Amino acid sequence: MKGYETKCIRNIALLGHGGAGKTTLAEAMLYTAGMTSRLGRVEAGNTVSDFDPEEVKRKISIRTSLVPIEWKEHKINILDTPGYYDLVGGIKEALSVADSALIVMKGSAGLEVGTEKAWEYATEANIPKMIFVTEMDAENVDMEAILTECKAKFGSSIAPVQVPWYEEGKFVGYVHVLKMMGRRFDGTKVVTCPIPDCLKEKIAPVRTMILEAVAESDEILMEKYFAEEEMTPEEIQEAYRKGVMEKQIVPVLCGSSLYSTGISVLMDTILDLFPSPDEGNKALGVLGMNEEPIEVVCNSTKQPSLFIFKTIVDPFIGKFSLFKVRSGIVRTDDILINSRTNEAEKLSHLYVLSGKEQKEVEKLYAGDIGAVAKLKTAQTSDTLADKAFPISYEKIVYPKPFVKMAIFPSGKGDEEKMSTSLAKLMAEDKTFYIEYDKETRETVIYGIGKQQLEIIVSMLKTKFKVDVYLENPTTRYRETIKSKVNVRGKHKKQSGGHGQYGDVQMEFEPSGDLEMPYIFEEKIFGGSVPKQYFPAVEKGLEECVMRGVLAGYPVVGVKAILVDGSYHPVDSSEMAFKMATTIAFKEGLTKAQPTLLEPIAHVEITVPDEYTGDIMGDMKKRRGRMVGMELKGKKQVIIAEVPMAELYTYATDVRSMTQGKGDVDYYFERYEEAPIDVQQKVIAARKDMA
């Protein structure tokens, strides 16, 4: 593949609902451009962008993949993203380097939740958008209804370019409303023809949409529009592109990916209306040791710098770092500095990836997307730059994962292999991470949703040959006491020679501070216990609070007072007093109304108003307590307090209840006494484990 200069590059994030046809559209573009000899199909598992065995098996995109397309002396870098929210990390990565977004809608399905999400992501990234309605050849596709729904949801920026043309129920062409020309499909070619009489009525409202959108992007044209003066085709075309570039106009095109109809027009429109990298947003970063904020225009005249937006770790081909050249020209054997580690990285080989295929190139111009293999320390979101241009670009901001599960190897001795493999998967997917819980001695994995964690488990088995299973993590319960007691603990042992003797009388009562395991005081009078043994008593307490008397959970909120005791001048020792304290502790806590505490989370659920009833009903089942509600934009934020044990997969459950429109955020708030029935279940479960 030849090198393309910045002006001739378009970087497009392909977004949309899961199953909307993004991957099929990428295939149609490749085929139309003559870059493949056959049209790959998701169902057949032979598409360019869905090449991972897990993607082939599940028939969905799991990771963002790069598909470069050469079209009319230009290069269109398609970033084919996953459509399911659990895999949102790939979308964030694509949008960090895309200069525009193509949102794919399935004609037979209309506006779906994933379409709304895609719009939100592209708006947040502040890049131009275009909508492509595919499957126009399917039955009962109502383009007018789709446009009306889009306009109602997304506003007056929606400006369709085409009116579909049907003959005997078959999609045969369209009217280009911007240019007021008829276009008929002839195989993969498009032939210009007169506008058919049957479509003239349908064209009028669409033409009005375009003129309204164009008028809103230019004051002079706004005056013309209200004065009902005719705009010239050149004025409309120029204002239309300006409106798209300034994110005020969103073109809507239509076609059929399955039969490659309307695809060449789509690619022409991408070249005409979407920005090249030097026309897109400036990259934000900080420069030098002083971290001076800087905006970088994408051009090839500056010193080279690149931003790594994705990492691929494969057991067979090794590690690939995908990057966008943010400035200058990057060449094979360049040595660039990693701004995070300050280490030099040599770019031994440069590649352009097309799905899993690697094409080696000698150089890449600013704005282009490529890959490099086997960098030493580089990670996703790292910046590599020339030593004379020490920039660090803004890192990708990922959503916080709230679904967590404990993971265990099925085979004995596979712990290390599991950990190594998980670390490789974590390098690929930054919305997934692992944590070893020292208290419960469990490896806990965190993800955006259950589907994502299921994919991780499957990848461990197929890619890394590690069989694992998931369980709910052990909840970090705590134990405390509710009453005051006075107990004695005596440790006495005689076995010839020096014996062991320790005797303590102690009071145990609630301290009122559940953040502290214990508070220790001594009120010894007359030297019944010498001061030298006080540290031993406290050491005994420190060890005892690690394991309570009910279910073996750590103890909190206990005040222990040493009030009396006795000692032996020969047989007493620090060990003896520590043992005596242990005896007193166990007896004391057993008598002082021990109780189990459960962790409580502060939870905020953001949902459209129509789902608040469902969420609140479900909240009661989870023993949650409502704290309040707030209006945030057009959505309700439900604030509640819920036991942590009820929340491990709650983020996924909320999305199921709200058709993917709800979001969850929560954090640990405090400990409080668990209901008796919960305590009994937890204690019984711990006894079964023992």
pLDDT in tens, 511-534: 999 999 999 999 988 889 999 999
Cα(42)–Cα(27) distance, rounded to whole angstroms? 9
The predicted-structure confidence for 555-603, as pLDDT tens digits, reads as follows 999 999 999 999 998 888 999 999 999 999 999 999 999 999 999 999 9
State whether 29 and 149 are in the same domain: yes
Question: Binning pLDDT at 50, 70 and 90, where does residue 231 land?
Answer: confident
**Buried b vs exposed e over 131-149: b needs ≥16 C-beta within 10 Å?**
bbbbbbbeeebebeebbeb
Let me know whether 633 and 555 are in one domain: no
What count of other Cβ atoms lies within 10 Å of the Cβ of residue 363? 16
**Quick check: helix, strand or coil at residue 8?**
helix
CATH of the domain at 288: 2.40.30.10
pLDDT on residue 154: 94
Q: How confident is the model at residue 317 (pLDDT cuts 50, 70, 90)?
A: low
Whether residue 425 sits in one domain with residue 355: no
**What CATH code is carried by the domain that includes residue 136?**
3.40.50.300
Same domain, 16 and 157: yes
Same domain, 519 and 566: yes
Q: Does residue 335 register a pLDDT over 90?
A: yes
Q: Kindly compute the dihedral angle of the four CA atoms of residues 376, 382, 388, 391, in this order, to the nearest 10 degrees.
A: -170
Tell me how many domains the chain contains: 5
Task: With cut-offs at 50, 70 and 90, classify the pLDDT of residue 497.
Answer: low
Whole-model pTM: value is 0.89
Q: Of 471, 499, 518, at which residue does a domain stop? A: 471
Asked if residue 512 is part of any domain, the answer here is yes
Specify whether 588 is located in the same domain as 603.
no
Specify the pLDDT at position 259: 82
CA distances from 662 to 169, 453, 584, 604 (A): 38, 19, 51, 10
H helix runs in 97-158, sequence order: 113-125, 143-154
pLDDT at 660 exceeding the cut of 70:
yes
> Across-strand partners of 321?
311, 372
Q: Judge whether residue 316 has pLDDT over 90.
A: no
Other beta carbons within 10 Å of 400: 13
Of 418, 451, 471, the residue that ends a domain is 471
What is the DSSP annotation of 317-378?
TEEEEEEEEEESEEETT-EEEETTT--EEE---EEEEETTEEEEESEEETT-EEEEE--SS-
Q: What are phi and psi of 659, to 5 degrees?
A: 55, 35
| Residues 10, 116 within the same domain | yes
pLDDT of residue 167: 86
Checking if the pLDDT of 443 tops 90, the result is yes
The CATH number that applies at residue 434 is: 3.30.70.870
Query: Quick check: is 196 in a domain?
Result: no
What contacts 249, CB < 8 A, 6 or more positions away?
157, 159, 213, 214, 217, 240, 243
pLDDT of residue 639: 96
- Asked if residue 84 belongs to a domain, the reply is yes
- In the numeric block, the tokens 């690929």 are attached to 428
For the stretch 602-643, pLDDT in tens is 999 999 999 999 999 999 999 999 999 999 888 999 999 999
Confidence of residue 310 (pLDDT cuts 50, 70, 90): very high
State which residues form the domain around 533.
478-592
For residues 453 and 547, state if they share a domain: no
What per-residue confidence (pLDDT) applies to 690? 56
**Is 463 found in the same domain as 534?**
no
pLDDT of 315 over the 80 cut: no
More confident call, 407 vs 53:
407
Q: Please report whether residue 278 resides in a domain.
A: no
461 and 482 part of one domain: no
Residue 235 lies in a domain: no
How confident is the model over 278-285, as a mean pLDDT?
93
Please give the mean pLDDT across all residues of the chain: 92
Instruction: Give the integer Cα–Cα distance in Å for 378 and 307.
Output: 10
Asked whether residue 188 carries a pLDDT value surpassing 80, the answer given is: no
Q: Which of 471, 488, 505 delimits the end of a domain?
A: 471
- Co-location of 20 and 91 in the same domain: yes
Q: Where are the beta strands (DSSP E) in 477-516?
A: 478-481, 485-493, 500-510
Q: Is residue 96 part of a domain?
A: yes
Q: What percent of the chain has pLDDT over 70?
A: 99
Decide if 213 contacts 156 (C-beta within 8 A): yes
Q: Kindly state whether residue 544 falls inside one of the protein's structural domains.
A: yes
Give the pLDDT mean for 264-289: 94
Give residue 449's pLDDT. Answer: 93
Does the residue 227 lie in any domain?
A: no
Q: Provide mean pLDDT across the span 142-151.
A: 90
* 626 plus 657 within the same structural domain: yes
